[in-house]
Chains A and B, each alone.
Chain A
């Protein structure tokens, strides 16, 4: 399982003069689940495009397992880093669900048996089993998004990058995305998600990277990111800690998720136990 690293990564889009990334040093380890947050234009999407070689650094470099990604062919990088984009319609092109999911792993030259197994697993995980012959465009938006996820899962890349995986997903869809991500990290894969959904961050991630104007302004745990003392830092990039974390800070208990808050409150509210007679 590889380690993914950026060193002094700078990106300037041609003609813009703006440093969309302005010296980003990050290291992602196997099995780690990392949320990258920040407002639109903070550099999150640009960062994602560097992780799978869609963009070339203006300065600095991306290292996969210690080797400079610049020297790797796109196919080589695609074998290691799978990216699921926010808008599935920019990704989906095949005429059937099955063809869409088969496309990636087939291009990686997997054997027929491996291919079948990888496709089956990806469809199962995303709840699309049984829809193999359907045209992707006959599926609703949330299922199309799960299909885009399935087609990347089927490539079984050691690194999985998801851009806004919860948008357009209903309650069941979010639960599915969540279990896919948990399964991937349990299998030792690196999971990186760009998201605006702070509740999702609090519930699911061990590490939060906060970006603003192309720079990392915070890299720590959700408790650190959502600490009331750092409220202004988060707000400087137009983000707000989840309600549960804000209430917890107000009441003076430690919690970032609703479940933690409720159990902390329940403990605090319980009358002191009398010693046994």
Chain B
């Protein structure tokens, strides 16, 4: 039980770093991609959060981005191995088009996550750890404090830009 807990914590950290770096690589915090994401970003910045961080959170909410890609890739690897992860990437691509998102963060995130998860399974992790880890990672970004999470993302974004 303790061992499983430790694996989930490590998977959370890996998933957190993975989706944040891919999202920032695809310049998600630069602007609100769709009008809904824009509105969420402005609302968060009005409550004392960071504007770029808010936009990125809005983009995460309004379209399947790298975080959704990581989650669905973990699910795909869980049910069907590496082909499942690639199928998840295709589904995320379709989802991006449905949501009028022009980016490729979700698709590339799902593909990269598939191979990272498959690699971690070689050293004793389980794909279910990554499903739990990804939910925990998104919880730390979206579910604890909008203000602090958006400031953290904004800090990373200025460091990249």
Asked if A and B are interacting partners, one says: no
